[in-house]
Homo-oligomer: A and B are copies of this chain.
């Protein structure tokens, strides 16, 4: 039985207990939300050592870090170091998007070491192996897709991205309306190529029940992918994107009928003024299933700083009700991220998530900032370092620039505002 099935049956699982304790929410309320589908706990029955984490209504916003090899750079040790650093920096989940080297080995090793939920995109492995063996994505077989999904599910993957909403009618809309960047999702691009070449429907859409049968056995959470997400601001919120979203809403209901947990993936590149509407649309069209946003990036020109464009969009999406942020690193649109980029990406996304938690009135998040404010007022530098989102970087910057007087910093030196007025106001 999946977490959803148990919630519906009125069974409180150890995973629900753990999430409720960690988030300081009532476990029965949490269970009710799981039963309604507005919260998921991605927890494959085969993922040993997993510390369960919840995503959705009433919980803190979560952050995912993508790692994984590519055909151009495949170093298992480096990927394991990215895993370690991502979790250390606060990532709530990690996706292994490997498309290079020994994909099975990389995933198994990550699952063995990871205490956070692990996600994958099975179509990547299916396509990479097909291309390497047969020369092109058009040779992909339906069975190959489902074999990979079964294998990865059996290995213990907690959630998988499946681009089931890339349907022929959505592609027709895309072609009719026209787009600047067409398709920027890798999974979406593979499926589209296959569909257009063979003049066939999306196998993940046509055989959705087969997919549900597999993932249900392991309680793999479906992350219904947005293969038609906009790849630039000009394409945002267009017919193809919204058509796919509506399909994902239908598929959400069908998954719930089979007790399968579901999240919905969302854009992408979206102008700041369209983000709120995008979140509202997802919540309405997908029956309040958790929303997992890939960005949104609020400009197309921030290459080298896309983590910042993502933090702006992610915070605003979170305030509007998004539940789960996929990080973006400084190397987005340029190259595969290295270990330092992964770290930077996670911290910056955690800032966005935290800002959203505060905006949504989360008491724990608000209390954390208040503690920092009190430490600042008291010129208590040790407490300030401890309370910083990344104590290591904060300590480094301060220690490299020691002030003459220990209770201030080199920004204002002895003319510190806090120090200037402290005799006139009582300490908090």
Contact = CB atoms under 8 A, between A and B. Distances in A.
Contact of A73 (B300, B401, B425): B401
A1 interface: no
A305 B377 contact: no
A262 to B, nearest CB: 24
A40 interface: no
Given A304-B389, A351-B309, A359 B272 contact: yes
Contacts of A358: 233, 271-273, 298-299
B308 A351 contact: yes
A333 B409 contact: yes
B413 A192 contact: no
A71 to B, nearest CB: 3
A154 B247 CA distance: 67
A281 interface: no
Interface string A354-382: 11101110000010111011101100000
A312 interface: yes
B393 A100 contact: no
A302 B373 contact: no
B410 A308 contact: no
Interface stretch (A42-50, A175-183, A283-291): A175-183
Contacts of A396: 304
A189 B360 CA distance: 32
Interface string A331-363: 111111100000000011001101110111000
Contact of A355 (B137, B299, B354, B368): B299
A218 B127 CA distance: 69
Contact of A421 (B72, B192, B377): B192
A401 to B, nearest CB: 3
A410 B184 CA distance: 15
Contacts of A271: 355, 358-359
Interface in A225-240: 231-235
Contacts of A422: 182
Chain A, interface size: which category?
A: 35 or more
Given A70-B412, A333-B409, A373 B273 contact: no
A315 B319 CA distance: 14
A184 B379 CA distance: 12
A420 interface: yes
A411 B185 CA distance: 12
Given A70-B413, A180-B370, A311-B308, A397 B301 contact: no
Given A196-B424, A369-B301, A420-B193, A70 B186 contact: no
A278 interface: no
The residue among A72, A337, A368 with the most chain B CB atoms within 10 A of its own CB is A72
B401 A336 contact: yes
B355 A309 contact: yes
Contacts of A215: none
A236 B162 CA distance: 43
Interface string A179-206: 1111111101110110010000000000
A56 interface: no
A233 B369 contact: yes
Contacts of A333: 376, 384, 409, 411
12 contacts: A70-B410, A71-B415, A73-B401, A73-B410, A182-B425, A185-B417, A193-B424, A273-B360, A333-B409, A334-B398, A335-B398, A337-B411
Interchain residue pairs A-B with the least CB separation, the first 6: A232-B373, A71-B413, A335-B401, A189-B417, A304-B393, A272-B359
